[in-house]
A and B are shown apart, each in its own frame.
Chain A
Amino acid sequence: MQFMLLFSRQGKLRLQKWYVPLSDKEKKKITRELVQTVLARKPKMCSFLEWRDLKIVYKRYASLYFCCAIEDQDNELITLEIIHRYVELLDKYFGSVCELDIIFNFEKAYFILDEFLLGGEAQETSKKNVLKAIEQADLLQEDAETPRSVLEEIGLT
């Protein structure tokens, strides 16, 4: 996978994960064009399209479009499953996920994605294991944030 984009029906970007090195300008251009292309598709059309020299696989879940760019040798149908798995993970984590969850907790959406995919490939095929890892990491984060005393806060002790 070269990149994954999540965007709303109004074309607002909610998540962008790039697995190829591109300049900020290039990323913006690609995003703009691709979002336009996908949003122009009619609902009855198939989930795959050719764009530049890439294959684009996209699927809409409620108000969010999940859009992946894969290479020629990659299997489009399994990519749909990858997208679906990611949505399931988000759903389990947030409990009936909706777009607002991803807006307000975007960093968590990234963390979950990074436990599922690495370098564009799936690193873990068990839903349970991905969620367990996130859970543990979240706990680590909480432990680290032990309450500081007021004096500590103002640097007096």
Chain B
Amino acid sequence: MSVDDSSHFLASLRLRMPAPIRLRELIRTIRTARTQAEEREMIQKECAAIRSSFREEDNTYRCRNVAKLLYMHMLGYPAHFGQLECLKLIASQKFTDKRIGYLGAMLLLDERQDVHLLMTNCIKNDLNHSTQYVQGLALCTLGCMGSSEMCRDLAGEVEKLLKTSNSYLRKKAALCAVHVIRKVPELMEMFLPATKNLLSEKNHGVLHTSVVLLTEMCERSPDMLAHFRKLVPQLVRILKNLIMSGYSPEHDVSGISDPFLQVRILRLLRILGKSDDDSSEAMNDILAQVATNTETSKNVGNAILYETVLTIMDIKSESGLRVLAINILGRFLLNNDKNIRYVALTSLLKTVQTDHNAVQRHRSTIVDCLKDLDVSIKRRAMELSFALVNGNNIRGMMKELLYFLDSCDPEFKADCASGVFLAAEKYAPSKRWHIDTIMRVLTTAGSYVRDDSVPNLIQLITNSVEMHAYTVQRLYKALLDDISQQPLVQVASWCIGEYGDLLVSGQCEEEEPIQVTEDEVLDVLEGLLVSNLSTPVTRGYSLTAIMKLSTRFSSVNRIKKVVSIYGSSIDVELQQRAVEYNALFKKYDHMRPALLERMPIMEKSATNGPTEIVQTNGETEPSVVEPKHPPLVTQPANQANDLLVLLGGNDVPVIQTTMPTKPASAGGELLELLGDLSLSGGPAPAPAPSVPTSQPSFLLDGLSSQPLFNDIATAAIPPMTAYNKNGLKIDFTFERANPNPNIAVITIHASNSTEADMTDFVFQAAVPKTFQLQLLSPSSNVVPALNQGTVTQVIRVLNPQKQQLRMRIKLTYTLKGSPVQDLAEVNNFPPQSWQ
């Protein structure tokens, strides 16, 4: 066949096949489908048609077919066979083809597939096209989904367009440059020259995108930031013009001139003014002006105010301006628009640390937000409320927060309960109040309280000696009402076991003592054992409690009977306990009183969990590790073994270094407690402290060194230098902890006189057997060079036998890339620290 003949033939073929249906036609057809199956059938049919059309390399209808494919893709159907077709469309000369082609590329192509690289050449050509709308398409596509390779290849073209006088292209090139920089940060330098006179443009589009570009560069490079600081006056001027200029219809939004640009400029100013006094001063006036003159009736005005407040808080603004900012937020809180309220709460949460007093003034409004209907607002208000609790407002705040706990959604209860406990611990005005608050939480949100708070509460109750009778009475009454909330039941069982004698003797001073017999108490405890509502852990608690009562009550026979029954319990844990208790009755009865005597006051154990320490106060979500804050160094358990090794000799250290979380069951801890009290020195549990390890549920535990100092009298114990070698100097300062004079509180101050920072700094200590040591979390694990700062850490040493204090310390850190380790003995403690 000749060439003419073949084209004849093809043409006739084309005549015979109908033209592919139009896009809108397809959409209409698909929408008539009544079932998913019907739709799928239509789509499959059309896809088949499109596929054969693609195979024929039909230029005329390619555009239409790809458009249809994109529609079907949006409905969720696969469209990958259209990818190459998009590339062909982009390469076409027709504008329509290019438009659809580029759209298809953005929707279907993916930088993970090599296919996308085929676009690069087309984009390059189109960036230099004679029609600005084609150039625009290319810039848009590159700026939206350009991969790193593409960006590398085409950055030069983008840079060229950044310098053009055509503002339509210039603005697009600026944002494209932003994308290039995000993908390939090393290329940032090459755009620097082009930024020279970006801000002198009159065109708002170019101005806006230029500010975005400058922001991106400043955020990524401190050098760029320093370089662009000189633009502050110009930015201030532009902002001023926007505010002062009259009505400009082109950029007006509800009476405000170009709010988008205003917001972006404010954001750039924030970055430029941060930590720089001069820049901050240069912008003080304009910020005050914007803050006071912006219309607040519509969202757009508030958007600008919001950005202004963020900027004021972040730069080194004068205090008057800061107060103005907080007051704006306070006004936001009263706004009817809940979006505004939400934004206010978020911002206040950010500033509560630095401007605590100013935020306090709005406390009542914040507390009112607890009653808001919106979940996000409630959560923010809760977090903020906890951050604002202090010694002065604790009673009032707690009333509100407990009311909130009663009525809030289950998703809040755990966090709220934890927060209440923490706040109560820090600021409780009296022991009675503290116990009442705990009781309230346990009874209203008992099932949401975290399991590890049970040991904490038990310890708290133990330490409030004068409240024992009151506590056990209240807990007993609570049990009579409701035994479904496990943490409450566990604490109550424990207390009844300990203080049951006080309960039946009716010794309560704080309130009307109740009349209860031993049998009634045992009824309740046995009830817990058999109830379906009790978990195995709770059953363990109640069995132990019953056992303890054998030394406090006279109805020993009844207790013996109960204990022997459980000797054959299916639950292994219960069985073991019962068997052991039975043994106590039978073979070791002489030891029973001593073993089961009243618990001594427990020391608050090491607050561990440095990985969960978060900077902001009041964020009571301890189980979420904030990804943004790198975890401080944890000392894994095997380092405790290292110290064991290094101390050797006669000294068996009782170490309480910061240990990683171990999910100890409460029952297990009690067994340990019992085990430790064993006078025969029987199988002591593995280096377990004689106190329950508090689990790191409370974020602020690490910061609890603060409240400790509230009640520590600074005794006049002279400080000492414990270690001074290779540029690392460690000083010890002392305080005595009231009320327990046997506890010495040592603060170590580590300083570094070498030229380089010491990173990964870890301080460990061990003391002889008769002492107990607790190591709280360090302030940091980097000791800055040239004595620019110190790392502090608090050690508490319990020295009941008043022996001479000795300590072995181990230091590890990294200096100039190489790890350093050293051991030392500290013997030069001043006598006052241990006498």
Instruction: State whether the Cβ of B785 lies closer than 8 Å to any Cβ in chain A.
Output: no
Quote the shortest CB–CB distance from B489 to chain A (angstroms).
35
Q: Which residue of A lies closest to B66 (CB)?
A: A107
Do B112 and A21 touch (CB < 8 A)?
Answer: yes
A77 touches B306 (CB 8 A): yes
B205 pairs with A126, CB closer than 8 A: yes
Near A by CB (< 8 A), chain B positions 369-411 give: 373-377
Q: In the docked arrangement, what's the CA distance between A45 and B304, Å?
A: 22
Q: Mark B50-79, 1 if CB is under 8 A from A, else 0.
A: 000000000010000001001100111000
- Chain A's closest residue to B204 (CB) is A125
Q: Is the CB of B7 within 8 A of A119?
A: no
B140 interface residue, CB < 8 Å from A? yes
Complex partner residue of B627 from A13, A50, A53, A78, CB under 8 angstroms? A53
- Report the separation of the CA atoms of residues A83 and B100 in the bound assembly, to the nearest whole angstrom: 24
| Cβ–Cβ < 8 Å partners of B136 in chain A | 115, 133, 137
Contact: A126 with B139, CB < 8 Å? no
Counted as pairs of residues, one from A and one from B, with CB atoms less than 8 Å apart, the total is 172
Interface residues in B202-221 by Cβ distance below 8 A to A read: 204-205, 208-209, 212
Chain A residues with Cβ below 8 Å from B341 are 46
Interface segment among A60-68, A90-98, A139-147: the answer is A139-147
Is A50 a contact of B376 with CB atoms below 8 Å? yes
Residue from A13, A44, A47, A50 within 8 A of B74 (CB atoms)? A13
Is A118 on the interface with B (CB-CB < 8 A)? yes
CB of A118 within 8 A of CB of B175, answer yes
Which chain B positions have C-beta within 8 A of A128?
Answer: 250
Chain A residues 98-131 with CB under 8 Å of chain B are 103-104, 106-107, 110-111, 114-115, 118-119, 121-129
Among candidates A24, A53, A78, A123, residue contacting B263 with C-beta atoms closer than 8 Å: A78
B700 to nearest A CB, angstroms? 22
- B260 proximity list for chain A (CB < 8 A): 78, 81-82, 122, 125
A128–B341 Cα distance when bound, in Å, is: 33
Q: With a CB–CB cut-off of 8 A, which chain A residues contact B375?
A: 45
- Return chain B residues, CB-CB under 8 Å to A137: 95, 99, 133, 136
Q: Which of A15, A48, A119, A126 contacts B251 (CB 8 A)?
A: A126
CB distance from B205 to the nearest CB of A (A): 4
As a 0/1 sequence over residues 355 to 379 of chain B, the CB contacts with chain A under 8 angstroms (1 = contact) are 0000000000000000001111100
A21-B147, A78-B303, A156-B11 in contact; A16/B342 too (CB < 8 A)?
Answer: no
Residues from chain A with a CB closer than 8 A to the CB of B263 are 75, 78
Checking A47, A81, A124 against B205 with a beta-carbon cut-off of 8 angstroms, the contacting residue is: A124
Q: Which of A44, A49, A75 meets B306, CB within 8 Å?
A: A75
What is the CB-to-nearest-CB distance from B299 to chain A, in angstroms, rounded to a whole number?
6
Instruction: Say whether B110 contacts A21, CB under 8 Å.
Output: yes
B691 / chain A contacts, CB cutoff of 8 Å = none
Interface contact B376-A81, CB-CB below 8 Å? no
Q: Which residue of A lies closest to B375 (CB)?
A: A45
Indicate if the CB atoms of B259 and A110 lie closer than 8 Å.
Answer: no
B110 touches A24 (CB 8 A): yes
Asked if A125 meets B208 with Cβ closer than 8 Å, knowing A119-B143, A119-B178, the reply is: yes
Say whether B338 faces chain A, with CB atoms less than 8 Å apart.
yes
Which residues on the B side are within 8 Å of A28 (C-beta)? 76
Cα A78 to Cα B74 with chains together (Å): 28
Whole-angstrom distance between the Cβ of A17 and the nearest chain B Cβ: 8
Residues of chain A with a CB closer than 8 A to B585's CB: none
The answer to whether the Cβ of B171 comes within 8 Å of any Cβ in the partner chain is yes
Q: Which residues of B contact A125 (CB under 8 A)?
A: 204-205, 208, 251, 258, 260-261
Q: Is there a chain A Cβ closer than 8 Å to B282's Cβ?
A: no
Instruction: Tell me the bound Cα distance from A50 to B411 in angstroms.
Output: 15
Alpha-carbon distance A133/B168, docked complex (angstroms): 9
**Contact flag A76-B339 (CB < 8 Å), given A28-B76, A123-B208, A129-B205:** yes
B466 is an interface residue with CB less than 8 A from chain A: no
A residues near B60, Cβ cutoff 8 Å: 153
Asked whether any CB of chain B lies closer than 8 Å to the CB of A149, the reply is: no
- A81 touching B144, Cβ below 8 Å: no
A46 with B175: CB separation less than 8 A = no
Shortest beta-carbon distance, A115 to chain B, in Å? 8
C-alpha gap A75/B301 in the complex (Å): 13
Q: Tell me if A80 is interfacial: C-beta within 8 Å of chain B.
A: yes
Alpha-carbon gap, A127 to B249, bound state (A): 10
- Which positions 242-260 of chain B face chain A at CB distance < 8 Å? 250-251, 253, 258-260
Residues A119 and B377 in contact in the complex (CB < 8 Å), given A21-B145, A78-B263: no
- Interchain CA distance A45-B81 in the complex, whole Å: 42
Using CB atoms, name the residue of chain B closest to A154: B11
Does B307 make an interface contact (CB < 8 A)? yes
- Once the chains bind, are B343 and A118 in contact (CB under 8 Å)? no
Chain A residue at smallest Cβ distance from B97: A144
Known: A78-B307, A118-B139, A133-B133. A123 touches B205 (CB 8 A): yes
Chain B interface residue count, CB cutoff 8 Å, equals: 77
Does B259 lie within 8 Å of A81, measured CB to CB?
yes
Interface residues of B in 83-116 (CB under 8 A from A): 94-96, 99-100, 103, 107, 110-112
Give A16-41 as 1s and 0s: 1 = Cβ < 8 Å from B's Cβ atoms.
10110101100010000000000000
B179, CB-defined interface residue at 8 Å: yes
Tell me the complex Cα distance, A17–B139, Å: 16
Q: Are A46 and B339 in contact (CB under 8 A)?
A: yes
Q: Which residues of A contact B145 (CB under 8 A)?
A: 18, 21
Which residues of chain A are near B23, meaning CB under 8 Å? 107
Contact A122 to B302, CB < 8 A, known contacts A106-B71, A107-B100, A137-B99: no
Q: Is the CB of B267 within 8 A of A75?
A: yes
> Cβ of A133: which chain B residues have Cβ within 8 Å of it?
133, 136, 168
C-alpha gap A16/B175 in the complex (Å) = 20
Which residue of B28, B112, B175, B338 is within 8 Å of A121 (Cβ)?
B175
Q: How far is the CA of A129 from the CA of B341 in the complex (A)?
A: 34
**Of the candidates B7, B10, B94, B338, which one forms a contact with A144 in the assembled complex, judged by CB atoms under 8 Å apart?**
B94
Q: Are B14 and A123 in contact (CB under 8 A)?
A: no
Identify which of A85, A143, A154 gathers the most chain B CB atoms within 10 Å of its CB: A154
Task: Report whether A104 and B27 are in contact in the complex, using a CB–CB cutoff of 8 Å.
Answer: yes
Q: A76-B343, A123-B209, A125-B261 are in contact. Are A81 and B175 (CB under 8 A)?
A: no
Q: Tell me, yes or no, whether B736 is within 8 Å of chain A by CB.
A: no
The residues of B that contact A48 with a CB separation of less than 8 Å are 339, 342-343, 376
Interface membership of B172, Cβ < 8 A = yes
Q: Decide if B15 is an interface residue (CB 8 Å cutoff).
A: yes
Pick from A44, A115, A126, A155: contact of B7, CB under 8 Å: A155
Q: Does B176 contact A (CB under 8 A)?
A: yes
B670 contacts which chain A residues (CB < 8 A)? none
Interface centre among A118, A124, A140 (most CB of B within 10 A): A118
Min CB distance B569 to A, Å, is 46
Select A77's contact among B95, B110, B302, beta carbons within 8 Å: B302
B253 in complex: contacting residue of A77, A81, A110, CB < 8 Å:
A81
CB distance from A111 to the nearest CB of B (A): 7
In this assembly, does B131 line the interface, its C-beta being within 8 Å of a C-beta of chain A? yes
A63 CB, nearest partner CB in chain B, Å: 15
Q: Give me 17 A-to-B residue pairs in the complex whose CB atoms sit less than 8 angstroms apart, sorted by A's number.
A: A15-B74, A21-B112, A48-B343, A77-B339, A80-B303, A81-B253, A103-B27, A107-B67, A107-B99, A118-B143, A119-B143, A119-B144, A119-B179, A123-B205, A125-B258, A126-B205, A136-B133
CB-based closest 9 A-B pairs: A77-B303, A124-B205, A46-B338, A119-B143, A118-B175, A78-B303, A155-B11, A119-B179, A154-B11
Given contacts A16-B74, A107-B23, A123-B209, 10 further A-B contacts (CB under 8 A): A13-B76, A21-B145, A44-B373, A80-B299, A118-B209, A123-B175, A124-B204, A137-B95, A141-B95, A141-B96
